[in-house]
Structure formats: structure tokens, C-alpha cells
Chain A
Amino acid sequence: QKEVEQNSGPLSVPEGAIASLNCTYSDRVSQSFFWYRQYSGKSPELIMSIYSNGDKEDGRFTAQLNKASQYVSLLIRDSQPSDSATYLCAVGGYGGSQGNLIFGKGTKLSVKP
């Protein structure tokens, strides 16, 4: 059974701080990793994708991947109240099911002004 685990939170950080969101996955053959942001009542929107070990930066967001530890994280620098949302981690690239993703249950982030 392929699993993606996230701390459900809520994770509360003050405005301007760094928010750190973590995700672990069970299947070592996973090849692709995604972070989605979902505002309450809305659909998920893609923030970042990462495929190789190390860091990938996009503006205030940095995704970090460690395949040996089966761990992927998302850092949000200079957190803003508008970053308050649920962040979904998704894992894919399983052989024989290309295109299919396994989603974690999400971590709720609250950024306090």
C-alpha cells in the first residue's frame, strides 16, 4: 500500500517567518513529487514539482527532496497571511501507473499577522 504522510497541523507561524512543511512517502520507486496549495472550498493549485535530490527554489518557495530518507519538504520564506491554506503533498512516478499520484491528507498552515 503506497502511502504519503503529512502532519495535519494546524501549523501556525507569524507573518514574515519561515514555514516548514514536511512529507514522507512509503514507496522507494517514486520518481516525482509535488506540492499543491488548497484554499478552503477551492481546488488544489500546483506550487512546485521536484524530481531530483536537493533543493528547488521558486520565489519564496523552496522544495527539498531526499530520496534516501523518502522525505520531501516545502519551505515558505517571508510567510504572508495569504499563504494560509492547506498544503497537499503528492507523489507519483510509479511504474505501470504513469500519471497517477498519491496524495497526503494535507497540512493546514495559518500565518498570523
Chain B
Amino acid sequence: DGGITQSPKYLFRKEGQNVTLSCEQNLNHDAMYWYRQDPGQGLRLIYYSQIVNDFQKGDIAEGYSVSREKKESFPLTVTSAQKNPTAFYLCATTLTSGTDTQYFGPGTRLTVL
């Protein structure tokens, strides 16, 4: 069963906690992306990675961190420095870094208590 998986589906965070969102893909895609979506807003790019062991900041990277140690995995950590983390987080992939057809995982909804 090929595709992009994100876990957990729902996540609750207390103030001051760091949390890590998982994104795994078995499509053998090179590039992976993290977006944040707020109600009534478009998708905003947090981080992206075009190749293993390399990643770039997107438009709203502050308060977030990522790693890309394996081709199939691109976890996102939401740190306590992110002041308003409640949002829907989406992971996407593209076949190569030179192609731009993005496919999305099911998303993680993060709520700060």
C-alpha cells in the first residue's frame, strides 16, 4: 500500500512542550515538504527537503525544526518557541526536486491546550 502517512492524526500539546509530527512515504520520492494551514488560509510552507541530509527554510520556519536522515522520513518538531502552533499540518512529496506536482499526506491536527 503506497503513499504518504502522517501520525498522529490528532495531537494535543501543553504550553511549553515540544512535539514531533511524523511524515513517512514509500513512493521513493526525493523531495518532501511541510505546510501549515490555518482556517480560511492557504497553505504556508514551513520547511522543505530536496535530498537526504539537506533541508531549507520556508516562509514560516521560526519555531519549527526538521531532519531528513532517511529518504522516506521527514519529521517536523514544533518547539515551545512557536507561539501559535494550533493548526492543520500537511506533509507533501514530489517525485524529484525538479518536479512540482505535490502529493499530500492525510495531515495532523495540532491543538495547544
Contacts and interface: CB of A to CB of B under 8 A. Distances in A.
A36 to B, nearest CB: 8
A105 interface: yes
A90 B90 CA distance: 15
A101 to B, nearest CB: 6
A45 B104 contact: yes
Main secondary structure of the interface of B (DSSP, over half): loop
B103 interface: yes
Interface stretch (B13-21, B42-50, B61-69, B74-82): B42-50
Interface residues of B, number: 23
Contacts, number: 56
Interface in A66-110: 88, 90, 92-93, 98-101, 103-106
B90 A99 contact: no
Contacts of A100: 33, 45, 48, 100
B104 A43 contact: yes
Contacts of A104: 42
7 contacts: A36-B104, A42-B107, A43-B90, A43-B106, A44-B104, A46-B101, A99-B100
Interface of B: 31, 33, 40-43, 45, 48, 50, 90, 94, 96-107
Interface of A: 4, 8, 32, 34, 36, 42-46, 49, 88, 90, 92-93, 98-101, 103-106
